[in-house]
Amino acid sequence: MQSSHDSSTKDGEDKDVEADEEPETEPVRFGWVTGVMIRCMLNIWGVILYLRLPWITAQAGIGLTWLIIIMSSIVTSITGLSISAISTNGKVKAGGTYFLISRSLGPELGGSIGLLFSFANAVAVAMHVVGFSETVKDLLTDSIMSDPVNDIRIVGVITVTGLMGIALAGMEWEAKAQVVFFFVIMVSFVNYFVGTLIPASPERMAKGYFSYRGDIFLENIGPEWRGETGSFFGMFSIFFPSATGILAGANISGDLKDPAVAIPQGTLMAIFLTTLTYLAIAATIGSCVIRDATGSINDTLGAGNFTGGECAGLGCNYGWNFTECTLAGTCEYGLANDYQTMSMVSAFSPLITAGIFAATLSSALACLVSAPKVFQCLCQDNLYPLIGFFAKGYGKNQEPLRAYALTFILAVAFILIAELNTIAPIISNFFLCSYALINFSCFHATITKSPGWRPSFRYFSKWTALFGAIISVVIMFLLNWWSALIVVGIIFVSLAYVTYKKPEVNWGSSVQAGSYQMALSHAMSLSDVEDHVKNFRPQCLVLSGPPNFRPALVDFVAAFTKTVSLMICGNVAEVRVYLQPHDSSCAENYSEQLRWLNARKIRSFYNFITTGNLRAGATSLMQVSGLGRLKPNTVVLGYKHNWQTDSPQNMENYVGIIHLAHLFSLPVPTGLTLLIPYLLTRRKRWSRCRVRVFLSSQIANAEEHREDRKEFEDLIAPYRLNEGQKGVDTVEEMKMEAPWKVTDEDLRIYKKKSEQHMRLHEILQDHSRNAALIVMSLPVVRKGVCPSALYMAWLETVSKGLHPPVAFIRGNQEDALTFYCQ
């Protein structure tokens, strides 16, 4: 040991060394504005806002576009309320959406959603980068590198590589970049709305812009479906990914100062503000731009290019003739044709381009950060094999560099698709599934009424959460039924795997609370149900001691109770072993036995009682084991092979337990002798065994079998009372001192019964030597009448020398077979 003086000296030296070193900096933490609200708004104001909202408005019309936006907002708002409730119910750590769902619904569903959400965010990176690349391609119309598709791929790969560099620089740099992007987007919005107020020039009119016009609004209020995706849900599937950014703040929960405050405030405020933005842009651009235009300033009615006939299209009202391209479907401009309509409408188009860059890059960056962090948390929980490699973190913020590399590879793979309208629907169902599970988590946690469900955020309802879950699933299948089936299939496969593996985690999930509530409710409802022979089940109290001490006995009972009825392994433990002060051996032994039962896939409870007497402990177990109707109706004991060498008092206790079982009416009905073999044959191991039944109303006298009789007499010889010519009082006193001993009177009274057991042994030797199991009636006599030594001699005589195991069963004269019922 080191002296206190040495310790203090060493401590002082350490302090001097530490003083010379630079103190370790704290990890970067964000508040609700920069950490959640701005991040969510940037992710929602993504590629869809600038490049697809005008086109969706042309297809669905202003009215249905508003409906699409409002439907999306309802789903995200309800989900936002559920996220707020879950995130304020306890400490929120890293892992975002995965952490929230897994700690609420448990590892089975949590693991599934962790995989899906990580993948969806990785694909979302590709979607936003492809949107950015489309804009760059349009700017480089005169400088095509290869062809339009390959240009998008080249620009996309270069862009995602640059974004990866920003992400790897750390969360502090990433947050600064997001603030810059937010400022650029706000400037682009002002630029757009100012542009809608500027009178139309001939160049802009040629592209379909005529400033605010009542007839344009009325024309664009209704839908005009075009192309393969021309349907309400086709447009919804393309638009909905824009609403998925509501989880951007929750996904970096580990980097927030106070997640329980930041997530509700920032998420709900972001949903409200972005919804207003989408509604305003859809209404304004649909009121000042027509669907079809050529872009040529020569296409006016007075330019001599009108060859007669009727002028088609709303442009005719303003002196423009777009008839030819409108009828042929070849127009290059207008809401329905030009993805860059917002840029054309704005006061200064480069600012819209800057806004597109900021929106797409900020959204891509947010997803690029979210996917690795969620996946890292999933890997750290070790729910699935082969992914632990990605759990490692680096630096003060434990950055998931390996998960970043995996996300980069997935993003590049989807960037190579190079088609925004193809990538967007892929993401929709993944996010909708996430929303469905988030809402279901909130609903389930509420209906289970667990005392641990105490969210400080009160503005939610279990019914709105359930509605949000249902509507998310419905929309999934309406958007793309086969994609929805794939998502559901992935969830079920991963759920089945985790359920089968049973990871050693205990997160206090609502599923656990629900299981308890359901079990309690069903147990209570059974209390009002009268027993009926049709529903009889052998519910066994197995006096096994520690189950791993008697595996054969436990396995035998489990063979006919598993998935059928109740099984409780009971252990009468010695007081001196389990009640030592500050001794944890009791709890350790309990856990050890449960692990042993689970390892052998035995569905059994384990209960023990501390007492110094086996008989008293067994009595207590028979009286208190079980709950309501779920209580034992059968006592199962192993055979006491050492009854001849053990103390007579232990033998007396053993037989006394059998009598106690009859006293408490625990022996089951008489038909169990047939029911147990039938239940065994339902197991795969016993399925090929045939049940043979032997009935005998009278077994022949065994007087002539002198050899068997001599063996029986030798068995009981050590337990003879040998009262001889002693008086009655003396004999009674001797019987009180040793009640297990056999008197001459006992041998006379039970002579015939003893001979029947000898003969029964011969019959079993002749007819059942090759059986897999012998099931026979247990002899029973009144307590205090038959000495325990004589009783054990009967059991020994019948079962000695038999190759197959023997199960003795005795009932209480109640029916157990439907043969007897009306």
Among the listed residues 785, 539, 515, 533, the one whose alpha carbon sits nearest the alpha carbon of residue 676: 539
pLDDT (average), residues 70-74:
91
The pLDDT assigned to 408 comes to 94
Cβ 800 vs Cβ 762: under 8 Å: no
The pLDDT assigned to 15 comes to 44
pLDDT (average), residues 615-636:
87
Instruction: List the structure tokens of 464.
Output: 């709105």
Q: Sorting pLDDT into bands at 50, 70 and 90, what band is 225?
A: very high
Sign of CA dihedral 173, 179, 183, 184: positive
The pLDDT assigned to 693 comes to 85
* Summary mean pLDDT of the chain: 82
* Alpha-carbon span 802 to 764, nearest angstrom: 8
**Terminal alpha carbon distance of the chain:** 82
* Residue whose entry in the numeric block shows the structure tokens 């809608």: 196
Q: pLDDT per residue over 373-429, tens digit each? A: 889 888 888 888 888 888 888 877 788 889 999 999 999 999 998 887 788 777 888
* Alpha-carbon span 83 to 445, nearest angstrom: 12
Q: Sorting pLDDT into bands at 50, 70 and 90, what band is 820?
A: very low
pTM summary value: 0.71
* Alpha-carbon span 86 to 101, nearest angstrom: 8
The pLDDT assigned to 279 comes to 95
Among the listed residues 649, 654, 639, 581, the one whose alpha carbon sits nearest the alpha carbon of residue 796: 639
Q: Is the pLDDT of residue 704 over 80?
A: no
User: Is 270 buried (19+), middle (13-18) or exposed (0-12) by CB count in 10 A?
Assistant: buried
Q: What is the CB neighbour count within 10 angstroms for residue 596?
A: 17
Q: pLDDT per residue over 343-367, tens digit each? A: 999 999 899 989 888 888 888 888 8
The pLDDT assigned to 22 comes to 47
Strands 806-809, 774-777: pairing is parallel
The pLDDT assigned to 697 comes to 57
pLDDT (average), residues 773-780:
87
The pLDDT assigned to 815 comes to 53
Cβ 617 vs Cβ 611: under 8 Å: yes
User: How long is the chain?
Assistant: 822
The pLDDT assigned to 684 comes to 86
Q: Is the pLDDT of residue 303 over 60?
A: no
Name the DSSP class of 776.
Answer: E
Compute φ and ψ for 471, nearest 5 degrees: -65, -30
User: CB-based contacts of 192: which residues, under 8 Å, 6+ apart?
Assistant: 281, 342, 345, 346, 347, 352, 355
Q: What is the CB neighbour count within 10 angstroms for residue 618?
A: 25
pLDDT (average), residues 65-74:
93
User: Is 686 buried (19+), middle (13-18) or exposed (0-12) by CB count in 10 A?
Assistant: middle
Using CA atoms in the order 611, 612, 616, 618, what is the torsion angle rounded to 10 degrees? 70
In 617-769, beta strands by DSSP E: 634-637
Counting other chains too, the contacts that 693-700 makes at CB distance below 8 Å and 24 or more residues apart are 694/763, 694/767, 696/763, 699/756, 699/759, 699/760, 699/763, 700/759
* Residue whose entry in the numeric block shows the structure tokens 């409730």: 85
pLDDT > 90: percent of the chain: 22
Q: State which amino acid sits at residue 378.
A: L
Name the DSSP class of 610.
Answer: E
Among the listed residues 745, 725, 721, 744, the one whose alpha carbon sits nearest the alpha carbon of residue 734: 721
Q: What is the CB neighbour count within 10 angstroms for residue 526?
A: 12
User: CB-based contacts of 817: which residues, under 8 Å, 6+ apart?
Assistant: 533, 669, 671, 674, 675
User: Is 141 buried (19+), middle (13-18) or exposed (0-12) by CB count in 10 A?
Assistant: exposed
Q: pLDDT per residue over 259-278, tens digit each? A: 778 888 898 999 999 999 99
Q: pLDDT per residue over 744-767, tens digit each? A: 888 888 888 888 888 888 888 888
Q: Is the pLDDT of residue 24 over 60?
A: no
Q: How far is CA 719 from CA 725, 741, 789, in A?
A: 18, 5, 7
* Residue whose entry in the numeric block shows the structure tokens 């103390």: 647
Strands 540-543, 806-809: pairing is unpaired
Using CA atoms in the order 411, 415, 421, 425, what is the torsion angle rounded to 10 degrees? -20
Q: Sorting pLDDT into bands at 50, 70 and 90, what band is 530?
A: confident
Cβ 584 vs Cβ 575: under 8 Å: no
pLDDT (average), residues 237-262:
79
The pLDDT assigned to 12 comes to 46
Q: Is the pLDDT of residue 551 over 60?
A: yes
Q: How far is CA 326 from CA 201, 301, 302, 309, 464, in A?
A: 21, 15, 18, 15, 45
Q: What is the CB neighbour count within 10 angstroms for residue 676?
A: 23
* Alpha-carbon span 263 to 56, nearest angstrom: 31
Instruction: List the structure tokens of 33.
Output: 């504005």
Among the listed residues 586, 665, 607, 606, the one whose alpha carbon sits nearest the alpha carbon of residue 633: 665
Least confident of 3-7, 106-110, 146-150, 181-185: 3-7
The pLDDT assigned to 394 comes to 83
Among the listed residues 439, 466, 344, 393, the one whose alpha carbon sits nearest the alpha carbon of residue 80: 439
Strands 567-573, 774-777: pairing is unpaired
Q: Is the pLDDT of residue 542 over 80?
A: yes
* Alpha-carbon span 75 to 435, nearest angstrom: 8
* Alpha-carbon span 623 to 629, nearest angstrom: 13
DSSP 287-300: HHB-S-B---TT-B
pLDDT (average), residues 290-313:
74
Q: Sorting pLDDT into bands at 50, 70 and 90, what band is 463?
A: very high
Q: pLDDT per residue over 123-166, tens digit each? A: 989 988 998 888 888 787 666 667 788 888 999 999 999 989 88
The pLDDT assigned to 733 comes to 84
The pLDDT assigned to 159 comes to 92
* Residue whose entry in the numeric block shows the structure tokens 């951007």: 248
In 14-159, beta strands by DSSP E: none
Q: pLDDT per residue over 334-344, tens digit each? A: 898 888 899 99
Q: How far is CA 607 from CA 531, 587, 594, in A?
A: 25, 12, 10
pLDDT (average), residues 84-103:
76
Instruction: List the structure tokens of 213.
Output: 């016009």
Q: Is the pLDDT of residue 647 over 60?
A: yes
In 501-602, beta strands by DSSP E: 540-543, 567-573
Helix (H, G, I), strand (E, B) or coil at 571: strand
Strand ordering across the sheet containing 540-543:
605-610, 567-573, 540-543, 634-637
Among the listed residues 587, 584, 661, the one whose alpha carbon sits nearest the alpha carbon of residue 621: 661
User: To which H or E segment does residue 523 belong?
Assistant: helix 510-526
Q: Is the pLDDT of residue 712 over 90?
A: no
pLDDT > 70: percent of the chain: 88
* Alpha-carbon span 586 to 102, nearest angstrom: 32
The pLDDT assigned to 13 comes to 45
* Residue whose entry in the numeric block shows the structure tokens 């310790």: 7
* Alpha-carbon span 413 to 217, nearest angstrom: 41
* Residue whose entry in the numeric block shows the structure tokens 């020569």: 298
Compute φ and ψ for 618, nearest 5 degrees: -65, -40
Among the listed residues 352, 331, 365, the one whose alpha carbon sits nearest the alpha carbon of residue 43: 365
Q: Bridge partners of 807?
A: 775
Helix axes 401-415, 148-168, angle to 10 degrees: 170
* Alpha-carbon span 533 to 817, nearest angstrom: 6
- 601 or 576, which is more confident: 601
Cβ 544 vs Cβ 569: under 8 Å: yes
The pLDDT assigned to 669 comes to 47
The pLDDT assigned to 17 comes to 42
Q: Is the pLDDT of residue 592 over 80?
A: yes
CA 157 to centroid of chain Cα atoms: 36
